[in-house]
Each structure stands twice: as structure tokens, then as C-alpha cells.
Amino acid sequence: MDKPPLNTQNVIVMTKYQPETGFAAISQVEAYWEAIRGARLLPKRSDIDPRGIERALENAFILERIAPGIARLRVAGSHLNDLMGMEVRGMPLTSFFVPGARASVSDLLEVVFQTPAIGSLRMISQAGPQKPELQARMILLPLKSDLGDVSRVLGCFVSKGEMGLAPRRYDITAKEVLTITAGQPPQPAVQTDPATQAPTLGTVQDSPRQVGMAEEQKPFAKQDPKRRPDYLRLIKSDD
């Protein structure tokens, strides 16, 4: 039986309708972290078994908090080494970012450790000579140390695209924080818009603030020229 002619008008390319792919490793690491967490607030560093994230090992890493806003890589997959063109164990996480983004990364690390919370980043490495543009994602999942303090992070770093010449450093395009509650799925953090808290110009004008120890200014009132000032007193002397 002959095949009917193909009507190209009915052929639809579905690739552009598919969800964004290439970051499956992040989903695997996050699902593993949730599984070992169970009903607890956080899992422990000692709970991590590399066999549980075998397919994402090249993208996975472990961070240790060494100071406020600073965390160094204790364990790092081969993908992170390739991005920097060197062994990255012992390096701070901020080494992967352009200088202008490092303060934001440090702030996010403190939120992850102190809250604790899940942090995620969308990033871009700009194109340059022999360096194609790279899209990347990172997730930071807090862990307790054996002492019970939140000083470790299980993370995953995935870049999509041709790597080009190393090192590759990234800028942040989006940042998300999810709060953690024991026995509950992570929830988006409530963020306050500072603009809604700042006083308006009208409020400032209606209620002038005092500077330093200055007293409140009194309105000027025109004095009667025949009336003596209050600070002058007549002193009678017999001399």
C-alpha cells in the first residue's frame, strides 16, 4: 500500500513547547535531599550517600561555612573543576562569580545557613573570545554537621552550553529562597518591599525630624515694640 503524501502543514515541531531541559541533576539532588530529610527540619552531613545522587555526582558539591558569608568547597564534582580549569576544593563558592555578584552570593549563603532555607540561583556567563554564553543554575540545600549546627550545604551546579576556555565566571539573573519547616514542604520566603516601609515625602514634610539635640522650633511671632523683652529685668540700685 502506497503511503499518502506527507502534508507538511500538519507537522508541528514540539521541541519549543517542551519544558526547559538540561538541569535534571538539580532536581535529582533536591529530591534526594528531601528524601533523607523526611519529617526532620534538616538532614545531617553524615546522611549523604554518594550512591543516592550517582547520576548527578559530577555537578554536586559540599560546602562548609567558615565565616559569615563565606563557604568553601569541601567536595566538588568534575563539572566544577572544568568550569574553573583547576581543582576547586578549598576555594570559596564566590570564586565562580564575577566581582559584582559576590556580595549577593554571600548574602544568600547567610540566609541558607542562618534561617535555614533553600537557596537557588539562575546565572549567566557572558560570551567572550572562545567563550560561548553559558546558562547555569545552582541550588543550595542546608545540612547539619555532626555537632548539630547548620554549617554544611549540599549543592548542585549545572551549566548548559559549550564551555569554551576556562575559567568561566557567572553573574546572577534570578535568586529564590524557600523557607524550611519540619514535616512540611519548602515554601517561598515572604519578601518585604522596602518601598512600602519607607516614609513618603509628604509624611516627612508633615512631621519634620529634629537633628541632633536641637529643640523644636517655635513659630515667629511679631513682638509689641513697647513691651520689654522677657529676659530684661529692672534692677533698682541706691548707689
What is the tens place of the pLDDT at every residue in 62-109?
A: 999 999 999 999 999 999 999 999 999 999 999 999 999 999 999 999
The model's confidence at residue 160, banded by pLDDT at 50, 70 and 90, is: very high
The model's confidence at residue 201, banded by pLDDT at 50, 70 and 90, is: very low
Report pLDDT digits (tens) over 117-159: 999 999 999 999 999 999 999 999 999 998 999 999 999 999 9
Rounding to the nearest 10 degrees, give the CA dihedral for residues 104, 69, 187, 180. Answer: 180
The model's confidence at residue 227, banded by pLDDT at 50, 70 and 90, is: low
Q: What is the pLDDT of residue 189?
A: 86
- If one compares 154 and 225, the residue with the highest pLDDT of the two is 154
Q: What is the pLDDT of residue 235?
A: 53
- CB atoms under 10 Å from CB of 153, counted, come to 26
Quick one: CATH architecture of 19-188?
Answer: 2-Layer Sandwich (3.30)
Average pLDDT over residues 233-239: 52
In this structure, what DSSP letter does residue 185 have?
A: E
In this predicted structure, the answer to whether residue 116 has a pLDDT above a threshold of 70 is yes
Q: What is the pLDDT of residue 22?
A: 81
Domain boundaries, the chain: 19-188
Q: What is the pLDDT of residue 203?
A: 35
Average pLDDT over residues 45-51: 96
Q: What is the pLDDT of residue 230?
A: 52
pTM of the model: 0.72
In this predicted structure, the answer to whether residue 209 has a pLDDT above a threshold of 50 is no
Q: What is the pLDDT of residue 41?
A: 97
Burial 118-133 (b: 16+ CB within 10 A, else e): bbbbebbbeeeeebee
In this predicted structure, the answer to whether residue 207 has a pLDDT above a threshold of 70 is no
The model's confidence at residue 238, banded by pLDDT at 50, 70 and 90, is: low
Mean of the per-residue pLDDT values for the chain? 81
Distance in angstroms (rounded) separating the CA atoms of residues 154 and 170: 20
Q: What residues contact 110, with CB distance under 8 A and at least 6 apart?
A: 68, 69
Sequential DSSP letters for 26-94: HHHHHHHHHHHHTTSS--BGGG--GGGGGGGGGGEEEEEEEETTEEEEEEE-HHHHHHHTS--TTSBGG
For 176, phi then psi, to 5°, come to -135, 145
